[in-house]
Structure 1
Amino acid sequence: MAKMSTKFVRICAGTVAAVAVTGLGFSASASAATPPPSVPAGFSTTVFAHAGGKLTGADDIARLGDKLFVGYQNGVGSQGEPAADGTRNSTVVEFDKHGKEVGHWDVAGKVDGLGADKRTGQVVATVNEDGNSSAYTIDPDGKHHAVKHYRFSSLPHGGGTDNVSVRHGVVYIVASNPTADAKGSTAGRPALYKVTFHGTTAKTTPIFDDNITATNLVTGKTGALNLTDPDSSTFVPCGVPGLGGSLLLDGQGDQQAVFVKSWGTKKQRADVLLLSQQVDDTAFATSTEGTLYVVDSAKGEIITVTGHFTKGEAFVSAKNGLGTLSLKTGTITAFGNTVTSPKGLLFVAADHGKRK
Structure 2
Amino acid sequence: MSFSPGARKRACLLFATVAGTAMLSMAALPATAATLRPAHHSFVVHSFKAVGIESNPDDITRLGGSLYVTFQNGVGPLGEASPSGATASSIQQYSLDGVAGRSWSVTGKVDGLTADPSNDRLLLTANEDGNSAFLTLDPSDSAAAKRYTYQGLNHGGGTDAIVVTGRSITVSASNPSNPAGAAAYRVTLEGTVARLTPVVNDNSVAISANPAAAGAPVQLSLTDPDSNQVVPRSSPRFGGTFMLDAQADKQLLFVSPREEHTSAPKVQVLAVAQPLDDTAFATHSRRTLWATDPAHNTIVKITGPFAAGEAISTVTPDVGATYLAQLSLTDGALTPIPGLASINPKGLLFTSTAGSERDDQSDDN
CA 1:153–1:339 in structure 2 vs 1: closer, same or farther (change >3 Å)? farther
Counterpart code for 1:102? G
Shift of 1:118: 0.6
CA 1:34–1:139 in structure 2 vs 1: closer, same or farther (change >3 Å)? closer
Q: Is 1:315–2:312 an aligned residue pair?
A: yes
Aligned to 2:158: 160
Tell me the matched-pair count: 317
Aligned to 1:190: 182
Deviates more, 1:344-353 or 1:94-103: 344-353
Which residue of 219, 239, 246 corresponds with 2:241? 246
Aligned to 1:265: 261
Q: Is 1:83–2:82 an aligned residue pair?
A: yes
Counterpart code for 1:322? L
Within 5 Å, which residues of 2 pair with 1:165-244?
Answer: 165-180=163-178, 186=179, 188-218=180-210, 219-220=213-214, 221-244=216-239
Structure 1: 5+ residue runs without aligned partners? 1-32, 181-185
Shift of 1:269: 2.1
Taking every aligned residue pair, what percent have the same amino acid on both sides?
A: 39
Shift of 1:354: 10
Question: Which deviations, in whole Å up to 9, do the C-alpha atoms of 1:51-97 show, x marking residues without a partner?
Answer: 22111111111111111110011111100111111111111111112
Query: Within 2, Cα distance between the matches of 1:170 and 1:199?
Result: 17
Question: Which deviations, in whole Å up to 9, do the C-alpha atoms of 1:167-187 show, x marking residues without a partner?
Answer: 10211111001114xxxxx2x
Query: Within 1, Cα distance between the matches of 2:146 and 2:294?
Result: 26
Q: Is 1:44–2:41 an aligned residue pair?
A: no
Kindly indicate whether the alpha-carbon contact (under 8 Å) linking 2:116 and 2:164 is maintained by their aligned counterparts in 1. yes
Shift of 1:288: 6.8
| Structure with the largest fraction of helix | 2
Question: Which deviations, in whole Å up to 9, do the C-alpha atoms of 1:189-235 show, x marking residues without a partner?
Answer: 11111112222221112112112222212211112211110001001
Shift of 1:41: 5.3
Query: Within 2, Cα distance between the matches of 1:160 and 1:334?
Result: 31
Query: Within 1, Cα distance between the matches of 2:22 and 2:145?
Result: 44
Shift of 1:289: 6.2
Q: Secondary structure at the match of 1:343?
A: coil
Aligned to 2:353: 350
Question: Which deviations, in whole Å up to 9, do the C-alpha atoms of 1:126-160 show, x marking residues without a partner?
Answer: 011101101211100012x2421111113101000
Q: Secondary structure at the match of 1:119?
A: helix
Kindly indicate whether the alpha-carbon contact (under 8 Å) linking 1:197 and 1:203 is maintained by their aligned counterparts in 2. yes
TM norm structure 1: 0.84
Counterpart code for 1:42? S
Shift of 1:122: 0.7
Structure 2: 5+ residue runs without aligned partners? 1-19, 25-37, 317-321, 360-365
Kindly indicate whether the alpha-carbon contact (under 8 Å) linking 2:287 and 2:307 is maintained by their aligned counterparts in 1. no
CA 1:119–1:40 in structure 2 vs 1: closer, same or farther (change >3 Å)? same
Shift of 1:44: 1.9
Which residue of 280, 303, 320 corresponds with 1:283? 280
Shift of 1:339: 4.4
Q: Is 1:330–2:332 an aligned residue pair?
A: yes
Q: Is 1:114–2:113 an aligned residue pair?
A: yes
Note the aligned Cα RMSD (angstroms).
2.1
Deviates more, 1:195-204 or 1:81-90: 195-204
CA 1:58–1:68 in structure 2 vs 1: closer, same or farther (change >3 Å)? same
CA 1:299–1:35 in structure 2 vs 1: closer, same or farther (change >3 Å)? closer
Counterpart code for 1:194? R
Aligned to 2:8: none
TM norm structure 2: 0.82
Kindly indicate whether the alpha-carbon contact (under 8 Å) linking 2:91 and 2:103 is maintained by their aligned counterparts in 1. yes
Deviates more, 1:145-154 or 1:85-94: 145-154
Question: Which deviations, in whole Å up to 9, do the C-alpha atoms of 1:235-279 show, x marking residues without a partner?
Answer: 111122231111110000101111111232348322111111111
Kindly indicate whether the alpha-carbon contact (under 8 Å) linking 1:175 and 1:230 is maintained by their aligned counterparts in 2. yes
Q: Secondary structure at the match of 2:74?
A: coil
Aligned to 1:95: 94
